[in-house]
Amino acid sequence: MTERKAETPCVAVCLMDPKTNMCLGCGRTLPEIARWGRMESAERLSIMATLRQRMLDAGLSPVET
């Protein structure tokens, strides 16, 4: 069996920023979090690729893992 890297940006810091409506831990929006389990892998990976810059653009500090 091959191991797959987890396709989630969750870092267990689940707190929504009221100004940006993004999670302070991972940078996702509530609609993205709600749909995450139903998204295709390609869509999850596409969103994950944007999260760090999205948080920086919003003035938030990405959590380093």
Residue type, 26: C
What is the value of pTM for the model shown? 0.86
Residue 3's pLDDT is: 46
Q: How is 2-45 classified by DSSP, letter by letter?
A: ----------S---EETTTTEETTT--BHHHHHHGGGS-HHHHH
Tokens of 40: 């295709």
- The DSSP 8-state label assigned to residue 29 in this structure reads B
Could you tell me the residue ranges of all domains in the chain? 16-57
User: What does the pLDDT look like over 28-61, one tens digit per residue?
Assistant: 999 999 999 999 999 999 999 999 999 999 999 9
Q: How confident is the model at residue 24 (pLDDT cuts 50, 70, 90)?
A: very high
